[in-house]
Amino acid sequence: MIEADNQIDRVVSLMRGFRATQTVYVVAKLGLADRLSGSPATAQEVAADVDAHPDSLQRVMRLAAFYGLFEEIEGGRFALTSLGRALTSSSPDSVKPLAVMVGEAQYEAWGALLHSVRTGTPAFEHVHGAGFFEYLAAHPEAQEVFDAAMSVGVNVRTSRLPDVVDFSASRLLVDVGGGNGSLAAAVLKRHPHLRAVIYDQPQVLEAADKYLSAIGVRERCELVSGSFFESVPPGGDVYLLSNIVHDWDDERALRILRNCRAAMKPEGAVLLVETVLGEHGRPSAATLADVNMLVLLTGRERTENEFRALLERADFRLTAVNELSWDHECALEARPLTR
């Protein structure tokens, strides 16, 4: 009986996951962790600073304490925990932008998961009336949140990337769909001899200009706008695609990869930073990312064998797969099959 009760508790906990998502979102959106990072405060004191209803905020902050983000202490005050510190803006490993992104437009799209399962089309477009990237282009604030969220985890990736990829013979890194340039910038920091091209849509490059200037590598970067479905900048030694291929179905992914193949130097390489699914029959947390692609876009996460086959169709040979983080994100390096 106890074992059966535990199983029921687990299922109930799973079905209530949306409550945790929205609690974390409110903490991030209102900057509650930032407000408590200096010293504990009452909900009434915090409400005055974040323009919230005091009693309602107190109830949500108690729920956040249940989840371990805060601790309720004497005097009706709330203190920030080590777990909650990850939602501060100042934390070097802050996930605050990711919490905001997940809690807004993506959260609404996941509410229509059944639509994707029944139709095979993205729930995001069904809910918001526009494709994911079209929606971002039309909503600058959402684009800004997305760019910041894509920087989450960059420290983890780049702490391993220079150790598993040899950039010593390279001179030009082309970051295809590079967003605000955060990943390329981190590589440039580690490799002073490198230059980079950040290639993305015009509205995205505005954020890249600001970010790269702030981090001190702007003079080593060229910002180029365009569509990777049409072409990519030529002459690169390494073409970096971080979480790009998984956005698209095989045919569109092939178009991007073939454009990279046509543009690169004969001795060049393509470097994919992607989540790698376990082979079928071996469930992993990567399946979360896979269904996220189902909901948001037309893409999917792929197994190592699926990446190998896709790359071969684009005239590449997969030469190395190295894990970068605990959540199955890997660096996949590929070289041209023919030269």
Catalytic residues: 246
Cα–Cα distance for residue pair 160/157, rounded to 1 Å: 6
Q: Are 33 and 27 in contact (CB under 8 A)?
A: yes
Beta-carbon count within 10 A of 47 CB: 21
Residue 332: which of 271, 290, 268 has the closest Cα?
Answer: 271
Cα–Cα distance for residue pair 179/144, rounded to 1 Å: 10
Q: Residues 6 or more apart from 20 whose CB is under 8 A from it?
A: 67
Residue 178: which of 238, 131, 219, 118 has the closest Cα?
Answer: 238
How many alpha carbons fall within 13 Å on the CB side of residue 300?
Answer: 13
Q: Are 126 and 115 in contact (CB under 8 A)?
A: yes
Q: Are 69 and 24 in contact (CB under 8 A)?
A: yes
Beta-carbon count within 10 A of 277 CB: 23
| Helix, strand and coil percent figures for the chain, each rounded to 5 | 55, 15, 30
Q: Are 290 and 310 in contact (CB under 8 A)?
A: no
